[in-house]
A and B are shown apart, each in its own frame.
Chain A
């Protein structure tokens, strides 16, 4: 700076002079500053200085922009968005308010697995300072800071499925429990905001938060959650002029609420003692979003080897990375041990056995789903009716019924050609487990190599034999879970044994309550490939690892094949296959059936998946994915209309992607043969 200022006087002079001047001045400077030469030298740019300068520059600019951003009026981002994408469509709340809809029925949200927040109430030394902080949901900051401590606190007791001694982790209560899963990742928030537009607020909305790690009955035993839900519903009905509630369960919440409806009418020691008319008096409609009524295949791979498609893909990209115990963390084993203490994961094991999910050589889905359909979405409207036929002709039947098969050839071969060694035989000939010295206990260490081989030798497992498999590899887990959940189909629903609570969350082993005015909706996304069956292999790794892995090398032949990376996909919402989400409403409960003796009307509302058109849309307003569907405008509109008093018929009854004769009725983007009726129709009995 000083140089510049001193030289200012010479600006107008000739360059020669200037140069002289500079030289002279420089000499002068040298004379002047010779005593300070040391400091002068240090003022030169070094790499370190440049770094500092750069960081400082970036910081300053950043702060400056931040300041500008904060002083900017709040309406500008919206304005910009509108300028880019054209005028935004009104969110359904605003639209319906203009139509004159207002608050009518109180609304109860039942969150699903994983999406609800959990907070710490009592912990070990390592979790100090986390009192009433979120362990699950929110930022997950603690997961990175003290992972082992975190896993320890998130686990339940291995024997009882309740709190381990000295640890109390409890669900967050209120709407904040599940409005956002992590910062910016909405779950219920969009729906809540839209309901608020037509006048809903805290007194007419209730989030039935529960500890989703526990088995359903245990939430009542430990936290009295079911009693609280009952009391809150009664309160809301009473304070809102006797208006019945509209219940909106999502994902596992669907099963939880099914359990609740049985519990509330059952007599006291086991149930809530609400009497046989409680549901009829208090509930107007149950609007199930993405309900895994009959379970999800994902839970099998989760329990069997803690992996799903995402992890399997990561494994193919970086083979060895996940297996090699980086830093000795043994991530998977820790995860497996933790998730295996959660009873709730067992509520979603596929129910109904081979009858529902298909046997060795057939499955209800057949080959109807075009797994390569993603590319066809936009241009397929014109050739209606041709595509399915072509696909049917080209594609081999996928053996979805074989939920786990060892090896791709096994997965595709006809059942008569597969040699299987009976699991039960090897069970009898079981040897004592060789106890290994692994740090982490998972049940795989208790079963010997012999058993692992036996598992692989059986080769193919259907939904029915999956249960045997799980009993075989993790007997303790299944013994604990078996006390709370059941996966069969009832032959005689009047059998007194079905009064036990373990049957309450299985729609195939319970009757719906006697509430003919109630309505049941099945609302779910379709058009996304969803995990349906797996190809496994035995890992060759060392002692302390999980002995089975999805065989990511198994790929289908063509583009359209449903086998990708060891996973067979079917139609669904990315998590729940259509079969599980829709069957009960399409057939099991349709009309007066033995599962639905009072003839509660059921409605199917399917939402075709369309990915967000551009980045500004975030997670999309027409998404059909399992969680993102909570931001689907069409679904929100349906929910709001029902909450404001509409019935299922007024909504338009069933909203399927196409009618049985193949003519698209709604949206009509992609015609599909309507298999709920013709194929699956034959299934349930």
Chain B
């Protein structure tokens, strides 16, 4: 480096002098100089001689050195880039704009629709932004900066451990840890974009704005999605604020009822809100029995996770999903070999397990809804992993008619969706009589096995560290678990978490809804344990995508890694079914929107609440709106205007149009009533639930 710099100095500072005969003088001195200098100087002189020979006294050529070339190239690139950038900015804006399809907003504006009912958006899990209000020294300078969502996630890469620490909640209370306050970002910016360019609500907002919506009649009910629902009220008064906001919008928009648009987990959050707001004060909002009837016109649930999602199971059990296990299969060892001692999964699992809200997404309704060891409501579903959307369309349309026939052929490899976790492929396929029973009584820890290897591992990161090797293997001994026994399993492997979270959520089915125990808030977000409010004019929509393979159950194995502080279970990604089977990479797939299976999204609207049932005593009208997934046809379309996947559906034009029509005053019948593509009706029929 030093010699290079010196050389440069010679080239530039002394070049004028060197051009003359002084060069020869310096040449004589060269002998006394050290090697490097000699190099440099003689090279310089050498250049001089060339110069003389060529007789070009005007300019002294200098040789290219590697570094110079590098600099030159970088400089060249930079300059060109700037030039292009400059021209780009000089161009009129309209010239470069991709000719966009006229969105539903423009179309409906031409039809003469205008803003009528105020709209409340309720974001789901993960998509909402979180910002820091108080933190530890390692988070210096991040005050009121986003830790999650919205901006870039650069901070996560810069100080990952610090971020994980700040995003975690207290393990015992499920609230803020000491000295850390992370809060939801309020307002529309809270969840319009998850990351730059990755829209969540932005497209819907933009289209609503076209027909006249703005801040005063459009509200984002941002809440801290890590907390249990009742805790958002206890800590942040989020439910009270939402209530006050809805009342204000109702009054200031000329007594027009509100249209609520919840998404994903926001759906059960809003369900919780509806119960909370009518419950008397100490526990509820004290709005009185008629509140919903007075203030809410329609609840338009997008991708509703009414009955939970199987994804939450794998997340809590082993901090992985389909995507993670694929990566594991491609590059085995990357995650397991503890690169740089990061133990990513363990840390992520530790963080995720402090979030009560994930427990709210565990499958609800047990075996009645999700199926038992040998049968499930989805049985007969044919999976097709080919990416050709056309063939898929034809296949699934025939599906209804042919399913009986096909079941005959596929009997061998039928997916036992009911076994939500099975250890080893045999356990997932064999008939239940040949399996060892998973009795909940077995999950009682003996005092001998408890805390066995705790001391050797030091700090316990996950509750797995507190389990003995013995009990870990005991869990896995060739067994299969249904949604009912799954809860016992989770209580066994993570007793503290489940104790904390089950004070806030319940996953059963109510026998008698009039039992006073169901007045407790932990039942409010479970549609199978609450009654809908008495609001016969209200409408409930279930809007979701179909036609995408969705995780439904898992094949697990013991992780080969026996060190402590690692997660002892892994999805067994080596397990594949035959062609046409729904098993791939250790995951059984069913129809859905990539996150929520149709069963969870549609059952309540298709059967549980349809007509006057015990869950819906006032007979609130329900509508199912399914949107068949079509991948974007070209790159210009971005994430697609006909997508059906869980988040991308927020950019689906048909869905946006439906929402806008309802917001502008239409009823469910006016927009076309039910619109069903999947087997949801048949599935619902198979579910034997007393209504």
Contact A60 B215 (CB under 8 A): no
Q: Which residues of A contact B440 (CB under 8 A)?
A: none
State in angstroms the CA–CA spacing of A45 and B71 once bound together.
Answer: 13
Smallest Cβ-Cβ distance to B61: which chain A residue: A44
> A318: CB under 8 A from chain B?
no
Contact A1 B65 (CB under 8 A): yes
0/1 interface trace, chain B 65-93, chain A, CB 8 Å (1 if under): 11010111111111100000000010001
State in angstroms the CA–CA spacing of A129 and B63 once bound together.
Answer: 50
Q: Which residues of B contact A15 (CB under 8 A)?
A: 27-28, 30-31
Smallest Cβ-Cβ distance to B154: which chain A residue: A70
Smallest Cβ-Cβ distance to A119: which chain B residue: B215
Contact of A74 among B31, B141, B237, B248 (CB under 8 A): B141
> A377: CB under 8 A from chain B?
no
In A136-179, the 8 Å CB interface with B consists of 145-146, 168, 170-171, 173-176, 179
Closest Cβ of chain A: how far from B191's Cβ, in Å?
13
State in angstroms the CA–CA spacing of A18 and B188 once bound together.
Answer: 75
State in angstroms the CA–CA spacing of A74 and B140 once bound together.
Answer: 7
Q: Which residues of A contact B60 (CB under 8 A)?
A: 45
Contact B237 A203 (CB under 8 A): yes
Smallest Cβ-Cβ distance to A192: which chain B residue: B144
Closest Cβ of chain A: how far from B84's Cβ, in Å?
15
Q: A53-B68, A170-B215, A196-B134 are in contact. Are A227 and B252 (CB under 8 A)?
A: yes
Q: Which residues of A contact B248 (CB under 8 A)?
A: 227-228, 231
Contact A146 B93 (CB under 8 A): yes
State in angstroms the CA–CA spacing of A245 and B97 once bound together.
Answer: 48
Q: Which residues of B contact A46 (CB under 8 A)?
A: 59
> Which of A3-11, A275-283, A418-426, A580-588 lines the interface with chain B?
A3-11
Contact B64 A202 (CB under 8 A): no
Q: Which residues of A contact B206 (CB under 8 A)?
A: 131-132
> A54: CB under 8 A from chain B?
yes
In A181-226, the 8 Å CB interface with B consists of 192-193, 196-197, 199, 201-203, 223-224
Contact of A26 among B28, B50, B64, B189 (CB under 8 A): B50
State in angstroms the CA–CA spacing of A7 and B43 once bound together.
Answer: 9
Q: Which residues of B contact A132 (CB under 8 A)?
A: 188, 192, 205-206, 209
Smallest Cβ-Cβ distance to A54: which chain B residue: B75
Contact of A53 among B39, B46, B71, B89 (CB under 8 A): B71
Closest Cβ of chain A: how far from B93's Cβ, in Å?
6
> B9: CB under 8 A from chain A?
no
Closest Cβ of chain A: how far from B16's Cβ, in Å?
14
> A238: CB under 8 A from chain B?
yes
Contact A56 B71 (CB under 8 A): yes
Q: Which residues of B contact A196 (CB under 8 A)?
A: 133-134, 143-144
State in angstroms the CA–CA spacing of A223 and B214 once bound together.
Answer: 9
Contact B215 A129 (CB under 8 A): no
Contact B43 A4 (CB under 8 A): yes
Closest Cβ of chain B: how far from A420's Cβ, in Å?
50
Closest Cβ of chain A: how far from B222's Cβ, in Å?
9
Q: A122-B209, A128-B97, A131-B209 are in contact. Are A174 and B186 (CB under 8 A)?
A: yes
Q: A11-B35, A176-B189, A203-B241 are in contact. Are A56 and B78 (CB under 8 A)?
A: yes
State in angstroms the CA–CA spacing of A74 and B28 once bound together.
Answer: 53
> B49: CB under 8 A from chain A?
yes
Smallest Cβ-Cβ distance to B60: which chain A residue: A45
In A1-46, the 8 Å CB interface with B consists of 1, 3-4, 7, 11, 14-15, 18-19, 22-23, 26, 43-46
> A57: CB under 8 A from chain B?
yes
> A51: CB under 8 A from chain B?
yes
0/1 interface trace, chain B 383-400, chain A, CB 8 Å (1 if under): 000000000000000000
State in angstroms the CA–CA spacing of A292 and B478 once bound together.
Answer: 79
State in angstroms the CA–CA spacing of A560 and B62 once bound together.
Answer: 63
Q: Which residues of B contact A316 (CB under 8 A)?
A: none
In B180-202, the 8 Å CB interface with A consists of 181, 183-184, 186-189, 192
Closest Cβ of chain A: how far from B183's Cβ, in Å?
6
Closest Cβ of chain A: how far from B33's Cβ, in Å?
11
Closest Cβ of chain B: how far from A618's Cβ, in Å?
15
Contact of A223 among B78, B97, B215, B244 (CB under 8 A): B215
Q: Which residues of A contact B53 (CB under 8 A)?
A: 26
State in angstroms the CA–CA spacing of A319 and B665 once bound together.
Answer: 60
Q: Which residues of B contact A431 (CB under 8 A)?
A: none
Q: Which residues of B contact A386 (CB under 8 A)?
A: none
0/1 interface trace, chain B 213-247, chain A, CB 8 Å (1 if under): 01110000000000000000000110011001001
> A59: CB under 8 A from chain B?
yes
State in angstroms the CA–CA spacing of A238 and B285 once bound together.
Answer: 12
Contact of B38 among A11, A145, A199 (CB under 8 A): A11
Q: A4-B39, A15-B28, A239-B237 are in contact. Are A228 and B216 (CB under 8 A)?
A: yes
Smallest Cβ-Cβ distance to B159: which chain A residue: A74
Closest Cβ of chain A: how far from B287's Cβ, in Å?
13
State in angstroms the CA–CA spacing of A171 and B214 once bound together.
Answer: 10
Closest Cβ of chain A: how far from B10's Cβ, in Å?
14
Contact A7 B188 (CB under 8 A): no
In A107-124, the 8 Å CB interface with B consists of 121-122
Contact A3 B75 (CB under 8 A): no
> A55: CB under 8 A from chain B?
yes
State in angstroms the CA–CA spacing of A126 and B248 once bound together.
Answer: 35
State in angstroms the CA–CA spacing of A547 and B73 once bound together.
Answer: 56
> A52: CB under 8 A from chain B?
yes
> A125: CB under 8 A from chain B?
yes
Closest Cβ of chain B: how far from A180's Cβ, in Å?
10
State in angstroms the CA–CA spacing of A192 and B133 once bound together.
Answer: 10
Q: Which residues of A contact B39 (CB under 8 A)?
A: 4, 7, 11
State in angstroms the CA–CA spacing of A239 and B236 once bound together.
Answer: 9
Closest Cβ of chain B: how far from A78's Cβ, in Å?
8
> A75: CB under 8 A from chain B?
yes
Contact of A59 among B49, B65, B78, B216 (CB under 8 A): B78
Closest Cβ of chain A: how far from B159's Cβ, in Å?
9
Closest Cβ of chain B: how far from A38's Cβ, in Å?
14
Contact of B240 among A146, A176, A238 (CB under 8 A): A238
Q: Which residues of A contact B78 (CB under 8 A)?
A: 55-56, 59
State in angstroms the CA–CA spacing of A22 and B44 once bound together.
Answer: 12
> B342: CB under 8 A from chain A?
no
Contact B240 A52 (CB under 8 A): no
Closest Cβ of chain A: how far from B186's Cβ, in Å?
5
Closest Cβ of chain B: how far from A238's Cβ, in Å?
7
State in angstroms the CA–CA spacing of A52 and B215 once bound together.
Answer: 50
Contact A57 B71 (CB under 8 A): yes
> A49: CB under 8 A from chain B?
yes
Q: Which residues of A contact B237 (CB under 8 A)?
A: 203, 239
Closest Cβ of chain B: how far from A383's Cβ, in Å?
45
Contact A56 B72 (CB under 8 A): yes
Contact A52 B76 (CB under 8 A): yes
State in angstroms the CA–CA spacing of A312 and B490 once bound together.
Answer: 74
State in angstroms the CA–CA spacing of A26 and B52 once bound together.
Answer: 12
Contact B63 A3 (CB under 8 A): yes
State in angstroms the CA–CA spacing of A128 and B188 once bound together.
Answer: 20
Q: Which residues of B contact A45 (CB under 8 A)?
A: 59-62
> A235: CB under 8 A from chain B?
yes
Q: A18-B42, A70-B158 are in contact. Are A201 and B183 (CB under 8 A)?
A: yes
Q: List 20 A-B contacts (CB under 8 A).
A: A3-B63, A7-B43, A43-B64, A44-B62, A49-B72, A52-B72, A53-B71, A54-B75, A55-B74, A55-B78, A59-B75, A59-B78, A126-B93, A132-B192, A199-B134, A201-B133, A227-B252, A228-B216, A231-B244, A231-B247
Which 6 residue pairs across A and B have the least CB separation, nearest first?
A56-B75, A56-B74, A55-B75, A56-B71, A52-B75, A44-B61
B contact set with A: CB distance below 8 Å: 27-28, 30-31, 35, 38-39, 42-43, 45-46, 49-50, 53, 59-66, 68, 70-79, 89, 93-94, 97, 133-134, 137, 140-141, 143-144, 158, 181, 183-184, 186-189, 192, 205-206, 209-210, 212, 214-216, 236-237, 240-241, 244, 247-248, 251-252
Q: A60-B74, A70-B158, A238-B240 are in contact. List 4 more A-B contacts (CB 8 A).
A: A15-B30, A201-B181, A224-B252, A231-B248
